Chains A and B, each alone.
Chain A
Amino acid sequence: MSDRYYLRFYQFLHANKKWVLASFVLVTLLAATGVFFVSYEGTINIMLPPDKKVVQSLDFLRDASFSDKVILSLALRDPKKTKKDLFHAADTLAASLAPPLFTSAITGFSFADVMEEFSLLQYAPQIFGEQDFKALDKKINPQAVSSRLHDIYQQSFRFESIFLSSFSRTDPIGIQRIVLEKLRALPASLGYDVMMEDGHFISKDGRHAMIIIQTSVPMTDGRRSRELIAALQDHLQHLPAYVTADIVSGHIHTVRNEEVIKQDITVAATIASFAFLFLFLFVFRDLRALFVFILPVIAVIWAIVIIAFVQDTLSYLIIGFGTAIVGISDYGLVVYIAMKQGTDISQSIQLAKLVFIDAITTIFSFVVLFFSAIHGYHQLALFSVLCLTLCLLFSMAVLPLILDRRQTGSIIHSSFAAGIKMDQWPAKRIVVIWSVLTAVFLVLAFFVQFDSDVKKLDGSGPEVLKTEQRFHEVWGGKSNQAILVVTGGSLEEAMEKNDQVFADVQKRIGAEHITNIASFWPSEKKRKENVQTWDRFWNEGREKKLRELIRQASARYEFSDQAFAPFFQGLYAHRVENAVPEGIIAHLQKRFVTVQNGEYRVLTFFPDEQRFLDALSTLPEQYPGTFLVSGKMLSSFISDFTAKEIRILAPLAVLFNVVFAWFFFRNWQEVLIALIPLITGVIWLIGIMALFNTPLNVITLVAVIITTGVIIDYGLGMTYEYGQNMNFGTIIAVTLSAASNIIGAGALLFAKHPALYSTAVAMVICMTAAYISAIVVIPSFCRIMKTGRREVPLP
């Protein structure tokens, strides 16, 4: 039945050859033009699991305002120049960074700014907590008061005394020190070893200044990231010669990843093109063989444009895989070789069946990816299935129209063809060697490591990494920070919840490990409570006691009776105020509070270490609306998720292959033999990775799944050749197919991007092992199990 339809299709194509070819060329030209209008993205995010916690973390990181930051480290290169020159350069640069690309540029802030916004006796009562009152209480005794007054007296003779003496009248017991201790945590909240000088961020070595730039450009936006970085580099050109700048930003990773992937694709495509050209011109010795190579490329172009209609953007990574798929889709090769061998119409039907089953097994290797929960895998599956279907269509419908059936002849030298036939090799010895090697690699496979750190798949390149290393040497901050996020419908609601969580977190991991806004600006409710506590503290006799202690100690230093009147007059004059909109507190709030879709999020920063994550792991359950964002935790989720996915996808891929193989052979013995390359490819790959202590990663696993769809074809073809006694030149086809597959994937071995390189390594090892087993082991098994050379009547 299907044979009849195929014959009709075949006859229709040949009858309308000119129209078919003209339409094909026209659509290809249109698609090639359309490729330039497709929107691409270069991030690896779509390849990550959509687990609730992962999505929550990624959404948070993507949308939180601090993720859209660019940090500049300005270095003073001339030893004759001073920090003043550096600050001047930083201020000039910051002032030049204007919207829309740059929403703000901060060169630093001063503790004095905070104190300026609120007077001491206005600010301290609002923020003092239990520990602060304990510290204050310790200062109200004869020794402490006497010591403090002695300091004030001594200070009166000092260089800076001209104004500080009058200032001391408002602080006779050193409240300022307690306040400053709290504020010292502020620079640490940046996650770097930042010091403050003259209201500027400065490094410990005093030779670097930092500018924190806020931008409206999301890190994931490749096009605007390019604009942003280019604009910033333009501004940096105007820095004085004695100042150099390092840019540290997620945007630069996006830009560099795109550049590297584009460059890799160009290099890989060029290498693959030359290799294919060599293969077709010197092995096939026929210019028309170029069509075998060109058709899959055309299929990729068509697929990109078709996908663009379905999806908003297409990942460069997916396109990268497309290069490998060009090598994979070798149906044209099988058709070409068969036609060169002189297959007639009846054999064409058998050939179509083989090509069809080859395509179906490969396509279903990608279809398996639809069962994954990862969005990127769906796009990869859709793109690959489309590419392969188009390849199949072109190979069956277009290629025969281009090739002339009458021009038959030997494709490669007969001695080479004879050399790769394994009929004469000792079958049992080969099977034993294969079994031993496979067993060894199987044992090794149990020791393979899985690396879930997606940062290692970042292809930004050594230049960016070197810049970041230099940055961390100057500013520290190499150890990552995790974030505890507290949410609320309003700012006050979130801040109040944050106060509770902050108190709890302090108990769990210690105040010294966390940075939270509550330590220097709690919720309004808490500040009101603090003010009441302050009043109680002094009303409980401490004010009277302090007055008396001061009176006793003052005589020695000849302090006047009204010396500290401003302090006692202002003791209860405080009132709870909101932060000034453009003041330093409001500015710092931006670091700790973000708004996302009307939801307020208050952030607590702490070191991303397992012991702290463990200690805080129950917080989200205890405080609804609270969640943790941690790179370490993210890696762990990805690892667990991938393992779970593989447990489903791998058996599914094998099942599809087995089912299609059975439909094709209707014989379990042949099905099992046909699976030898699949088993060999996968086990040997994992074993070799373990042997060389190279961990698997998310990308290599995807590459393995893709490759299984290819290497099953080797087994099907070889078993078909030996089982059906066909004369399509299957051994040559499998050899050239493997060669083209390995060339396609192997070209990516020259890629600089680690994701593409990992893909290439996995695919090349897997395909090479599978190919060797296909041409060496399958014939041996066939001979041992006496399946070979059966005479089967052709339909």
Chain B
Amino acid sequence: MKAFRVYCAMSFVFLVAFLFPLTVLSAESPADRQANNANLPAFLKKLGKEIADFKTLSTDFIQEKEMALFKKKLVLRGRIYLRKPNTIAWHVDSPVRYSVLITDKVIRQWDEDTNRVQEISLTQNPVFQNVLSQLTVWFSGDYTTLLETNTVRLVKIEPLTVEFIPHKKNIAATVIQKVTISFREDRTYLKQIRIHELSGDITTIIFTNTLLNAPLDQRNFEVKGHE
């Protein structure tokens, strides 16, 4: 069973997905970015401090899954809302409707298939719990831990693309081959994240309409019958 590997890998992806938009924001010029590339520990540390300003996040996403499980590529569309310190709402709008709200105390999820809201204690769901705890670490700005467990590589400057390869001792390495993130041309927002699994499955999440510190409605964090 690879459950634990899965937890760790999920955490890994989420932290990359939600944090690297901010790394772009923090790099103010190409010269700065090159300097950071040469000295990644200092670069990540600096970004971590600047992330403290980030309170909320709102973004749409398209998730493409090339999986050995399915004959065809699976394409999901939806939205993500995030409020610090640890509240995340993940809404899938198509091809099926599904929502989940994760706080530090509880997980509430709803799906179109059952049309029921299910409330789960975090204690009973280590997957969510692990993701959330990892995210909290990241929001706190402790990016240096990434360097301890991953090889971080700047793939290209234009568009800015960074690759994370888990070290062999990193539990995520048992599931993930690498995670590549790239940024929009204006280098303000994250463009996409691509996860290469050891199984050969590839998941690509493309972020659109990303807004930082946007005012969020309480309805964004409601799971039943979301619009």
User: A residues engaging B (CB < 8 A)?
Assistant: 82-84, 110-113, 115-116, 118-120, 123, 152, 154, 156-170, 176, 179, 195-198, 202, 206, 557-560, 562-563, 565-566
Asked if B70 and A163 sit within 8 Å, CB to CB, the answer is no
A112-B3, A162-B10 as given contacts; A202 in contact with B203, CB under 8 Å: no
Say yes or no for B122: interface residue by CB 8 A criterion: yes
- A112 CA to B174 CA, complexed, in Å: 13
- A142 CA to B199 CA, complexed, in Å: 28
Asked if A166 and B126 sit within 8 Å, CB to CB, the answer is no
Asked if B69 and A165 sit within 8 Å, CB to CB, the answer is yes
CB-defined contacts of B31 to chain A, threshold 8 Å: none
CB-defined contacts of A154 to chain B, threshold 8 Å: 96, 111, 113
CB-defined contacts of B130 to chain A, threshold 8 Å: 198
- Number of residue pairs spanning A and B whose beta carbons lie under 8 angstroms apart: 128
- A565 CA to B123 CA, complexed, in Å: 33
CB-defined contacts of B121 to chain A, threshold 8 Å: 206
Asked if A84 and B201 sit within 8 Å, CB to CB, the answer is no
B93-111 near A? 1/0 per residue, CB < 8 Å: 0011010101010000101
Shortest CB distance B198–A (Å): 9
Asked if A162 and B203 sit within 8 Å, CB to CB, the answer is yes
A116-B4, A159-B90 as given contacts; A169 in contact with B128, CB under 8 Å: no
Asked if B128 and A160 sit within 8 Å, CB to CB, the answer is yes
CB-defined contacts of A565 to chain B, threshold 8 Å: 68
Say yes or no for B197: interface residue by CB 8 A criterion: yes
Shortest CB distance B171–A (Å): 8
Chain B, residue nearest A558 (CB) = B71
CB-defined contacts of B127 to chain A, threshold 8 Å: 160, 164
Asked if B199 and A166 sit within 8 Å, CB to CB, the answer is yes
CB-defined contacts of B27 to chain A, threshold 8 Å: none
User: B residues engaging A (CB < 8 A)?
Assistant: 1-7, 9-10, 13, 65, 67-72, 74, 76, 90, 92, 95-96, 98, 100, 102, 104, 109, 111, 113, 121-123, 126-131, 133, 136, 171, 175, 195, 197, 199, 201, 203
Chain A, residue nearest B136 (CB) = A84
- A179 CA to B1 CA, complexed, in Å: 10
- A158 CA to B111 CA, complexed, in Å: 9
Asked if B126 and A202 sit within 8 Å, CB to CB, the answer is no
A-B contact pairs, 18 of them (CB 8 A): A84-B136, A111-B126, A115-B3, A119-B1, A120-B1, A152-B69, A158-B100, A159-B90, A160-B127, A160-B128, A163-B9, A165-B65, A166-B175, A166-B197, A167-B3, A167-B6, A198-B126, A566-B199
- A84 CA to B104 CA, complexed, in Å: 9
Shortest CB distance A298–B (Å): 65
Shortest CB distance B55–A (Å): 18
- A118 CA to B2 CA, complexed, in Å: 9
A112-B3, A160-B128 as given contacts; A168 in contact with B69, CB under 8 Å: yes
- A152 CA to B67 CA, complexed, in Å: 13
Chain B, residue nearest A114 (CB) = B1
A84-B133, A163-B10 as given contacts; A112 in contact with B4, CB under 8 Å: yes
Asked if A156 and B5 sit within 8 Å, CB to CB, the answer is no
Asked if A197 and B123 sit within 8 Å, CB to CB, the answer is yes
Shortest CB distance B112–A (Å): 9
CB-defined contacts of B98 to chain A, threshold 8 Å: 157-159
- A560 CA to B74 CA, complexed, in Å: 12
Asked if A156 and B69 sit within 8 Å, CB to CB, the answer is yes
Asked if A110 and B123 sit within 8 Å, CB to CB, the answer is no
Asked if A197 and B122 sit within 8 Å, CB to CB, the answer is yes
Asked if A115 and B123 sit within 8 Å, CB to CB, the answer is no
CB-defined contacts of A562 to chain B, threshold 8 Å: 68
